[in-house]
Structures are given as structure tokens and as C-alpha cells.
Amino acid sequence: MGEAEEFRVHPEYWRQQADTNPEVHAAFILAYESKILALINESNLDGDEKEEWEHELRIKNPSLLRYEWVAQELGLNNQSEVVEEAIQIYSDRKRN
């Protein structure tokens, strides 16, 4: 069973891996950054509000919990999209 299929069976496995495996953590950060930027760009926020949220992406060494919070505050209802993207990023990096 591939990693993407493993996620569908055990999503909590991947979230735990993000806490202990630096490569998985980095993939989650990239996935969250991508999703958060998309949410900001699709939002009806004014320029100052967009800048405030974009500032959250420029924080050095962000925590995964912080990104989860930002995504939820911006209206992300489906965390599995981020997890699937993170797994894809991780899988692509492992192949290269």
C-alpha cells in the first residue's frame, strides 16, 4: 500500500509523523503555506488584513499548530486536503 493510501486508512499516523519526522513536518509546513496563501488570495479581506495573515507565513520556524490555527481562522474546513498535499510533497521528495 502506498503512502497516500495509508493516509486514507490512518490519517492520524501522518499527523503523528509530522511531530516526530522532520521531513514529514517540512512537507506539512509547505502544504499549509500553499493552502493558506490560496485562502488569503481567495478571501474578501482588505489589503491590511491580507498583510496581517501573510505575516503569519513569514514567521521564522513556524509551528505546525500555528499553521493549523491560521488555516482554520481563514476558513479551512477540510484539513485532509492539507494532509494529502503534505503526503504528496513528502512522497515526491523521497523519490528524488
Helix axes 47-57, 22-42, angle to 10 degrees: 180
Set of cell numbers at residue 37: 496563501
Task: For residue 61, give the C-alpha cell.
Answer: 520556524
How many CB atoms are located within 10 Å of the residue 7 CB? 19
Q: What is the pLDDT of residues 17-72, one digit of tens each?
A: 888 999 999 999 999 999 999 999 888 888 899 888 888 878 777 788 888 888 88
Q: State the Cα torsion 64-66-69-70 to the nearest 10°.
A: -110
Band of the pLDDT at 12, cuts 50, 70, 90?
A: confident
pLDDT score of 11 more than 80: no
pLDDT of residue 9: 47
Res. 4: pLDDT tops 60: no
pLDDT of residue 8: 53
Rg (CA), the chain: 14
